[in-house]
Amino acid sequence: MSDVEGVHFVRIAKPGKPIRWYVYAWRGGPCILKADGPNKPKLDVAAIAKIAAAQTKQNAAPPDLLYAMIRDWQASPEWKALAKSTRDLWGGELDLIEAKWGKLPIALWNDFRMVAKVVAWRDSRAATPRAADQGVNVLAELLKFGKLRARVKLNVAADVPAIYRAADRAEIIWTEDDLARAEAAAKKLKRESAMDAIRLACLTAFRRADLAALTWDEVSETSIVRTALKKSRGRRRRAVVPVIPALTELLAELRNRPRKEGVNTVLVTKRGTPWQPASLTEAVIAIAKEANIVQPAIPALDAPEKRKHLHDCRGTFATHLCRAGLSNDEIARICAWSPESVERIRRTYVDDAAVVVALSERIRRVL
């Protein structure tokens, strides 16, 4: 049966696992179907019935219950202003929030004792701490919306602390040796197009979504100008990346990649189509695993071995700019980062390395 207008399909591809599809009644709406397979699933009679039921439920939501506020948020300018990837991620968390609290009165959220309920919900998901924190964050954003609309007086989720402790990745970069081994692995796996993304990331510091979406219209002989898709501190930073000689050479190669008619993205798959961010991540992970691209463990610092990600290529570019003598503010503008992030990379990697080199030179002169 043909697809129904407005239905939202999400494709999840994880290494070593079959491709899974999640089908939502609408973007941000409830999940009505899950299916495995390479092709987008068709909607049967049962799935269409679930869509109709979800739409009926949406239209009939009593205004004094939480799930009515969820629906209003999803129809608001604030929700529509979010990046597509954010709406997809938050939509799944809203499903969990609705399942747990959707039928409760909104007025209940004006009781400060709900903080304990939120903390208990967070702790019940502690086995997946990042997801637990994400759920609390989405709830806080929902209540922020409600407070702005004078539907709640408090935001009981706003100050709930996170339980996930992010690994420190500031010192992790892709070295020249990493890139050489990755290129060999890409050829072995026949994923040379994914290696293009790794090389481009090391020369631009673009995130995955920006790598996949970058078009030739944004590239000139001297610079690449792009507004980052991901927000930093509530706003999207405008990246102006200088085209250094190595990037000029890479761009010349990429212009000659076979591509389907009308495709204007800088990066393309081996089929000549634009990359989907999730597929790009899957391909890079496969290359990194094959080439064993890891940050070695440091027992003295109790730091375990870490597999390097596509995101770590950004640090590679930042260290090049640090060594070139650019200031934190200059690098932040180029990379669409905050100056604080640049300072952290400089302090962790570049400055410490310079100190070690200087000490080594002094020792050599004495001995």
Give, as one character, the DSSP assignment of residue 111.
S
pLDDT at residue 123 greater than cutoff 90: yes
Query: What does the DSSP assignment read for 185-230?
Result: HHHHHT-HHHHHHHHHHHHH---HHHHHH-BGGGB-SSEEEEEEEE
Least confident of 109-123, 167-181, 205-219: 167-181
pLDDT at residue 104 greater than cutoff 50: yes
In this predicted model, what pLDDT tens digit does every residue of 212-223 receive, in sequence order? 999 999 999 999
25 vs 60 pLDDT, higher one: 25
Least confident of 47-56, 106-115, 136-145, 177-186: 47-56
pLDDT tier for residue 275 given thresholds of 50, 70 and 90:
very high
Q: CA–CA separation, 191 vs 303, rounded Å?
A: 31
Mean pLDDT across 127-146: 92
pLDDT at residue 297 greater than cutoff 80: no
pLDDT at residue 72 greater than cutoff 80: yes
Mean pLDDT across 30-41: 85
Q: Give residue 142's Cα distance to chain centre.
A: 21
In this predicted model, what pLDDT tens digit does every residue of 308-344 receive, in sequence order? 889 888 888 888 888 878 898 988 877 767 788 788 8
In this predicted model, what pLDDT tens digit does every residue of 229-264 receive, in sequence order? 665 555 566 778 888 888 999 999 999 999 999 999
Question: For all residues of the chain together, what is the average pLDDT?
Answer: 84
Mean pLDDT across 196-224: 92
Indicate left, alpha or beta for 327 from its phi (over 0: left) and psi (-120 to 50: alpha).
Answer: beta
Neighbours of 175 (CB within 10 A): 12
What residue ranges define each of the domains in the chain, with the CATH number in brackets? 1-60 (no CATH), 61-166 (1.10.150), 176-366 (1.10.443.10)
Q: Max CA-CA distance within the chain?
A: 83
As to burial, measured by CB atoms within 10 angstroms (0-12 exposed, 13-18 middle, 19+ buried), residue 296 is exposed
Nearest to 98 by CA among 29, 197, 180, 178: 29
178 vs 239 pLDDT, higher one: 178
Q: What's the pLDDT score for residue 358?
A: 43
pLDDT over 90 for what percent of the chain? 41
Mean pLDDT across 277-297: 89
Indicate left, alpha or beta for 188 from its phi (over 0: left) and psi (-120 to 50: alpha).
Answer: alpha
Q: What's the whole-model pTM score?
A: 0.60
Cα dist. 321→253, 317, 324 in Å? 23, 6, 5
pLDDT tier for residue 1 given thresholds of 50, 70 and 90:
very low
Nearest to 10 by CA among 276, 267, 230, 208: 276
Neighbours of 30 (CB within 10 A): 18
- Collapsed DSSP state (helix, strand, coil) of residue 43: coil
Q: What's the pLDDT score for residue 359?
A: 43
Q: CA–CA separation, 309 vs 254, rounded Å?
A: 22
